[in-house]
Amino acid sequence: MLVTAVECQECNSIVYSRADGDVRSCICGSIMVYGGQNHFRYDAPANSKHQVKKIKVNLSLAQLYEDWDSMKDEFGLITENQDNEVSNVSYTC
Ligand SMILES: [Zn+2]
């Protein structure tokens, strides 16, 4: 499925919110995403380098919810060295 995510170009990580109550921040902490995919919101400092993207992940919304609910935290943060989560990053924005 496609998820709305924010790429932080300062720490080269991509974050997205998995569920309504999920709050995630990128590695350097400047980007914060929340609200799940239905109510997606994010905070970023005005001068930070970041880009909002649609990315494709091989996961269902239920899997994302379960990952958040069980606090496994396997998903929601994608770093340069860990791109198995994304099958095909598509740059629609
Ligand atoms: Zn960052």
Q: Tell me the H-state helices in the chain.
A: 61-69
Residue boundaries of the structural domains of the chain: 2-92
Dig out the tokens for 39 from the structure: 């109510």
> To the nearest whole number, what is the mean pLDDT of the chain?
89
Q: What is the model's pLDDT at position 61?
A: 95
Q: φ and ψ at 27, to 5 degrees? A: -60, -40
Q: What is the model's pLDDT at position 83?
A: 53
Q: What is the model's pLDDT at position 93?
A: 47
**Distance, CA of 17 to CA of 55 (rounded, Å):** 12
Question: In this predicted model, what pLDDT tens digit does every residue of 5-46 receive, in sequence order?
Answer: 999 999 999 999 999 999 999 999 999 999 999 999 999 999
Q: How far is the CA of 10 from the centre of ligand 1 (A)?
A: 5
Q: What is the model's pLDDT at position 49?
A: 96
Question: In this predicted model, what pLDDT tens digit does every residue of 11-22 receive, in sequence order?
Answer: 999 999 999 999
Q: How far is the CA of 80 from the centre of ligand 1 (A)?
A: 12
Q: How far is the CA of 7 from the centre of ligand 1 (A)?
A: 8
**β-strand partners of 38:** none
Percent of the chain with pLDDT strictly greater than 70: 86
